[in-house]
Amino acid sequence: MNIEANRPPLAVRVLRGLWRTVDGARRLTVNLLFVLVVALVAALLLERGPRVPNKAALVLAPVGTLVEQLSGDPGDRAWGRLTGEPVRETLVRDLVAGIRAAQDDERIAVLLLDLDELSGAGLSKLRDLRTALQEFRASGKKVIAAADGYEQAAYYLAAQSDEIHLSPQGFVLIPGFGRFRPYYKEGLDRAEIDVHVFRVGEYKSAVEPYLRDGPSPEAREADLEVLGDLWRAWLEDVGAGRGRSPDEIAAWVAGMDERVAAAGGDAARAALDAGLVDRLSNRDEVRARLIELVGEDVESHDFHRIALADYLEAEDLTEPPSPRGDAVGVVLARGTILDGAQPSGKVGGDTTSALVRRAREDDSVKAIVLRVDSPGGSAFASELIRRELALARAAGKPVVVSMGSVAASGGYWISTASDEIWADATTITGSIGIFGMIPTFDKPLARYLGVHVEGTGTTWLSGALRVDRALEPRLGGMVQDLIDRGYEEFLARVGEARKMTRDEVDAIARGRVWSGADAKGIGLVDELGGLDAAIAAAGRRARLGERPRVRWIEKERTWKERLAGRLLEGAAALAPGAVAAAPHDPFSTAGRLRAALAELEALAELDDPRGLLAHCFCEVDG
């Protein structure tokens, strides 16, 4: 037998050998990756976790904006940390939980507020933290604040401490509160773009940038009244923290330029001379002061410390507790109200309705607290949520609304199906009104490009919704009718909830915003107080006592999502990309441009199926 004749050609044998080599390498790679993943999972499961040192400083270093609910899902946030682009948000609930746990923890002697990375916060959130800090100090423990420079939100928190340390090269910048927006009328006229606006209410200023080059007298009047209430509350809280009168703090702002000039351009010295800070301290001097208070770690030569995230993990406070037994269920409604399912940080008509329904159908949830921190959005989505809350009340479960920094327009709409409404004195609320907009740019197409959009249709509505054609007058009339009806529906919802006549509601509606303090005076709010007060009120209504168990009603993650998130978090903690991204600079050219475009982006995502928007562009600078 000729064995050689039966052997495959040399080229085939070479290719087969090459394939076996490649296939073996592939298998080896997959196996190694599998082993690596298993090892990482085992390490995460077996890790002992952080330990709290004896006589330590708990370090609170909030990053970015203080929020009621983090944006996106945990996997996205962990991936952002891994790639060096973290979401710059800090959960107020975590800060409060850490402060309150440390208050009675004998191992925690001092609280350090490291405020360099805090970029902003609604005043109601700062006031919640102020209450927690006051309770911590009342226990006899010190609060130390330190930063290279203090802007308004950071200084508010620093003012609640026992010692404020400022870098000798630093500053204290307190601009007060303002509301400034880009106005597009002149630019739209130049481009010959028509924006057809439909609204009810002379105070519904959300649409004014497309109609004017500055705010109307009505908008200025309403804004100034609300901003004045916020400013007075800020001055009172800061003055009380520093042992100064509000007028003394206001005088610093009014004469800051003169004080800095008198100090030879030394802004830090000017702040010290004015009593706004206690010490001018470099970072090493702040460390030395903390070592003096809590002792020195022999290995790191730093003060005994534990970061908030580690402390929450060590105390098993990283996940909201889900106590067994009868409880008050808290549902968060943070962000713009949009149709359909939405991620955390936005209020989805379907998503939030499902959470309310889950609380209604849970026999152990005896009352519901809806925490609203929203400027509104889609009227349709708002009504879906309101309807679910009404069904919960019809089922015999009390509903109490707790308003955060903003609960306006659609945020107020969803609040009407409640037994009580609680707001902070500085909450921005009201803005009871409806609007819609249809832009058309047929004129610039014809003038600059010579493009004309014409054709034939079977009805007057054929082609009437195209933005590259002039608005059909009959369509405009019909849209205004829809807007008028939507406004009447809004008035009816408020009137039924607040036991007012249609005209009584209309007198305080028409798109006008109010502070929480003023809203209570005109009957839009029942009581002034924070989330804890609202939970206590719900507990009383459900006969659960003043301090009921609290269950946070949030989207539940599957075990796969939890595992994936844990793996990403572990990888993020080990990866170089986990270093926080550079802080956003609102004063840079890019920052200003980003702010100018943010409102247009927010408007573009509003998607009410009827085109009816119950939205308030009432964010405040400061």
Q: What is the pLDDT of residues 279-304, one digit of tens each?
A: 999 999 999 999 999 999 888 889 99
Residue 483 lies in a domain: yes
Cβ pair 304, 55 in contact under 8 A: yes
Q: Has residue 35 got a pLDDT over 80?
A: no
Q: Are 299 and 340 within one domain?
A: no
Q: Are 367 and 487 within one domain?
A: yes
**Residue among 379, 382, 374 at smallest CA distance from 403:** 374
Q: Are 415 and 304 within one domain?
A: no
Cβ pair 444, 438 in contact under 8 A: no
Q: How buried is 455 (Cβ within 10 angstroms: 0-12 exposed, 13-18 middle, 19+ buried)? A: exposed
Cβ pair 326, 364 in contact under 8 A: yes
CA distances from 120 to 124, 130, 225 (A): 12, 15, 22
Please, what is the Cα angle at 212 between 614 and 380, to 5 degrees?
Answer: 10
CA distances from 509 to 14, 225, 523, 565 (A): 83, 15, 12, 45
* pLDDT bucket at 582, cuts 50 / 70 / 90: very low
Q: Are 401 and 453 within one domain?
A: yes
What tokens appear for 454 in the block? Answer: 């014409």
Q: Are 164 and 296 within one domain?
A: yes
Which residues, 6+ apart, have CB-to-CB distance to 110 below 8 Å? 56, 57, 58, 141, 142, 143, 144, 290, 293, 294
What tokens appear for 419 in the block? Answer: 């037994």
Cβ pair 429, 401 in contact under 8 A: no
Which residues, 6+ apart, have CB-to-CB distance to 249 below 8 Å? 174, 235, 238, 239, 242
What is the overall mean pLDDT for the chain?
86
Residue 504 lies in a domain: yes
Residue 136 lies in a domain: yes
**Residue among 194, 222, 226 at smallest CA distance from 206:** 222
Cα–Cα distance between 497 and 394 in angstroms, integer? 14
Find the DSSP H helices in 499-620: 502-508, 516-521, 531-541, 559-574, 589-604
Q: Has residue 574 got a pLDDT over 60?
A: no
Cβ pair 111, 99 in contact under 8 A: yes
- 605: three-class secondary structure by DSSP: coil
Q: Are 292 and 418 within one domain?
A: no
E-assigned strand segments in 353-398:
365-374, 376-378
Return the axis-axis angle of helices 10-46 and 559-574, rounded to nearest 10°.
90
* pLDDT bucket at 584, cuts 50 / 70 / 90: very low
Q: Are 362 and 292 within one domain?
A: no
Number of domains composing the chain: 2
Cβ pair 144, 163 in contact under 8 A: yes
Q: Are 414 and 517 within one domain?
A: yes
Question: Which of 252, 287, 314 is the last residue before a domain boundary?
Answer: 314
Model pLDDT for residues 457-467, shown as the tens digit of each residue = 999 999 998 99
pLDDT of residue 579: 40
Q: Has residue 588 got a pLDDT over 50?
A: no
165, containing H or E segment: strand 163-166
Q: Are 374 and 304 within one domain?
A: no
Residue 256 lies in a domain: no
What tokens appear for 322 in the block? Answer: 């889900």
Q: State which residues form the domain around 445.
A: 327-580+607-615
Question: Which of 287, 314, 341 is the last residue before a domain boundary?
Answer: 314
Cα–Cα distance between 497 and 485 in angstroms, integer? 18
Q: Has residue 595 got a pLDDT over 60?
A: no
Question: Residue 61, by phi and psi: left (phi above 0), alpha (psi -120 to 50) or beta?
Answer: beta
Q: Has residue 577 got a pLDDT over 90?
A: no
Q: Are 87 and 134 within one domain?
A: yes
Question: Which of 314, 343, 371 is the last residue before a domain boundary?
Answer: 314
pLDDT of residue 609: 64
What's the CA dihedral at 486, 491, 495, 498 to 10 degrees?
100
Q: Are 460 and 489 within one domain?
A: yes
| pTM of the entire predicted model | 0.84
Bridge partners (DSSP) of residue 514 are: 429
Mean per-residue pLDDT for 191-195? Answer: 92
- How many Å separate Cα 466 from the centre of its chain? 35
Cα–Cα distance between 142 and 111 in angstroms, integer? 6
* Residues taking part in catalysis: 204, 409
Cβ pair 56, 141 in contact under 8 A: no
Model pLDDT for residues 264-281, shown as the tens digit of each residue = 999 999 999 999 999 999
Cα–Cα distance between 383 and 417 in angstroms, integer? 10
Cα–Cα distance between 181 and 361 in angstroms, integer? 43
Residue 392 lies in a domain: yes
Cα–Cα distance between 519 and 526 in angstroms, integer? 9
Residue 95 lies in a domain: yes
Q: Are 371 and 417 within one domain?
A: yes
Residue 184 lies in a domain: no
Residue 198 lies in a domain: no
Output the domain CATH number for residue 340. 3.90.226.10
- Please state which of the ranges 7-21, 235-249, 507-521, 546-560 shows the lowest mean pLDDT: 7-21
Cα–Cα distance between 346 and 401 in angstroms, integer? 18
- Please state which of the ranges 340-349, 492-501, 574-583, 585-594 shows the lowest mean pLDDT: 574-583
Residue 538 main-chain phi, psi, to 5 deg = -65, -40
Bridge partners (DSSP) of residue 347 are: 337
